[in-house]
Amino acid sequence: MPKTLISQEAISSKIFLIRGRKVILDRDLARLYSVETKNLKRQVRRNIERFPEDFMFELTKEELENWKCQFGTSNSSEKMGLRHLPYAFTEQGVAMLSSVLNSKRAIQVNIQIMRTFVKIKEMLTTHKDLQRKIETMEKKYDEHFKAVFEAIKQLIKHEQNPKKPIGFHNK
């Protein structure tokens, strides 16, 4: 297997849940690609027809504040290097970036990001399958094992929701 430029752990730490979607912010992508954020955004604006709302969207001021609060930062947007509202790219948007950022590094980084998104999906599917199996087993056994099954369910639930979602959500 070829040597990877960036670890999946480093990439997955940059994936956030905003508007119910897993996204990576423009500034994090720019760092991964080793380009300036303003250049990444310029390329996106020049090719905006390639980035519909389900590929990329701009955070609102409220979403940006929620995102900053989640990480306990009290710095103003300017001090964080955020003079403009950031773009959030979904998995499809990241894939589309490889067509507008035409460098070898962008292609290699995109491959690694796509692998990370796939791995996250696999992990979520595995957790759901495990949860179903535990519920089936729970029905077979008596009250003596109830506490054990509850503890396992809490562990699975905690792993499935390690980060709180950011933004406003309609119920």
Q: So where are the chain's domains?
A: 8-120
Task: State the average pLDDT over residues 67-84.
Answer: 58
Q: Which residue has the higher pLDDT, 142 or 133?
A: 133
State the pLDDT confidence band at 58, using cuts at 50, 70 and 90: very high
Higher pLDDT among residues 76 and 169, named by residue: 169
Task: Record the pTM.
Answer: 0.63
Query: Strand runs (DSSP E) across the chain, as ranges?
Result: 15-18, 21-25, 56-58, 87-89
Rounded mean pLDDT, 100-127: 82
State pLDDT tens for residues 118-129: 888 787 777 777
Q: What is the average pLDDT value for the chain, to the nearest integer?
A: 78
**pLDDT band with cut points at 50, 70 and 90 for residue 168:** low
Distance CA 94, CA 16 (A): 14
Residue 49's pLDDT band, with cuts at 50, 70 and 90, is: very high
> Alpha helix (H) ranges present in 7-103?
8-12, 26-33, 37-46, 61-70, 91-100
Residue 2 has pLDDT above 70, yes or no: no
End-to-end CA distance of the chain: 44
Q: Which CATH number fits domain 8-120: 2.60.40, 3.30.70, 3.10.260, 3.30.420?
A: 3.10.260
At residue 77, the pLDDT reads: 47
143-154 exposure pattern, b = at least 16 Cβ within 10 A, e = fewer: eeeeeeeeebee
Rounded Cα distance between 153 and 130, Å, is 10
